[in-house]
Amino acid sequence: MQIMLKIEQDKMAEVLAALKSQWSQINPKDGEDFRYEFLDEIYGKLFKKQEQLQSMFFAAALLTMFIAILGLFAFAKYITNGRIKEIAVRKILGANDLQIFKLINTSFFVMVIIANLISWPLAYILTKKWLETFAYRIELPILPFVLSAVITIFLTIITVSIQARKVVKANPVDALKYE
pLDDT in tens, the chain (179 residues): 677 778 888 888 888 888 888 777 777 776 677 777 888 888 888 888 889 999 999 999 999 989 999 999 999 899 888 888 888 888 888 888 899 889 889 989 999 999 999 999 999 999 999 888 888 888 889 898 899 999 999 999 999 998 888 888 888 877 777 66
Gap between the Cα atoms of 95 and 87, Å rounded:
9
List of residues 6+ apart from 29 with CB closer than 8 A: 1
Is residue 134 included in any domain, yes or no? yes
Q: Please report whether residue 12 resides in a domain.
A: no
83, part of any domain: yes
* Domain presence at residue 35: no
79 close to 106: Cβ distance less than 8 angstroms = no
Domain that holds residue 71: 56-176
143 domain residue, yes or no: yes
How far apart (Å, rounded) are the C-alpha atoms in residues 99 and 45? 56
Structurally, how many domains does the chain consist of? 1
List phi, psi (to 5°) of 100.
-70, -40
Give the global pTM: 0.66
Element (H, E) at 87: helix 84-92
Distance CA 83, CA 50 (A): 48
How are the residues of the chain apportioned to helix, strand and coil, as percentages rounded to the nearest 5? 75, 0, 25
Given a contact cutoff of 8 angstroms between Cβ atoms, the answer to whether 100 and 168 are in contact is yes
Does the residue 150 lie in any domain? yes
